[in-house]
Amino acid sequence: MIKKTLFTTALLANTLYGQWFIGVDYVVSSSMSREWEMTTDQGGSNSGDDDFEYKPLIIKLGNGTIDGSSWSIYYSSEKLEFDNGKSEEPLNEFGFDYLGSINIGTANNFVPFYKLGINTATFEYTDGDASALGVKVGLGVNYNINSNSQFTLGVDYKYRQWEDKDFEDSEYENGSYYTTTETLSMTDSGTRIYIGFNYYFGSSNSDSATTPSSTTNNERDNNSVRIHSNSSSEVNID
């Protein structure tokens, strides 16, 4: 019973996700915006927004079918580029993406897809570091060079919520020190366009599934020929 269950699970997993792959994506264009608000425990506040670019090289490891759906985990690290220069430290991101194929009757080599993803990010400040949780949606198309190699072109929309960061500021006034706590809240959002390349290991399920079918059809045709030949011979003898 256990062996049968394990075999069924393995067969199902192989049917749904037959090939491991590695890949790289490069963000060629991005339009991101960071909205921030600084509040104090004294009731004061200040807010604003900054535009920036984030164009990292993304390294991926995933599993799926080259002509269908897939999932991947990825890592990227790159400095943020603001109008007044780049950040001193890079933004590090780790995430999970699911790509679902879209069947719209395109040529076999082109596979349109939609993307859903979640990610975490870390960024170091002068007084410490902060982490964020983000979500992602996107659309794109894969071009299959052969059964193992694939080019990618896509566009994503990302939203990221950073954890609140507290900063303390001490001031001396009227013979006493006063400590003011400032809280920084930030969100990032925007779109980016990327290109990429994926390499799938092994053979696809569609290739392996074609062989038995072809063999069965050939055997059926050969059997039909033999039956027809035998019938003709019997008619000639009579």
Would you state the pLDDT for residue 65? 92
Q: Give the tens place of pLDDT for each residue, 13-23.
A: 454 557 999 99
Q: Give the tens place of pLDDT for each residue, 185-214.
A: 899 999 999 999 999 998 765 554 443 444
Would you state the pLDDT for residue 143? 95
**What CATH number is given for 2-203 in this structure?**
2.40.160.20
Q: Give the tens place of pLDDT for each residue, 138-192.
A: 999 999 999 999 999 999 999 999 998 887 777 766 667 667 788 888 999 999 9
**pTM for the predicted model, two decimal places:** 0.73
Would you state the pLDDT for residue 4? 52
Q: Give the tens place of pLDDT for each residue, 76-98.
A: 999 988 888 888 889 999 999 99
Can you spell out the DSSP letters for the chain? Answer: -HHHHHHHHHHHHHHH--EEEEEEEEEEEEEEEEEEEEEETTS-EEEEEEEEE---EEEEEEEE-TTS-EEEEEEEEEEEEETTEEEEEEEEEEEEEEEEE--SS--TTEEEEEEEEEEEEEEEETTEEEEEEEEEEEEEEEEESSSSEEEEEEEEEEEEEEPPEEEEEEEEETTEEEEEEEEEEEEEEEEEEEEEEEEE-S--HHHHHHHHHHHHHHHHHHHHHHHHHHHHHHHHH-
Residue 31: is its pLDDT beyond 80? Answer: yes
Ranges of each domain in the chain: 2-203, 206-238
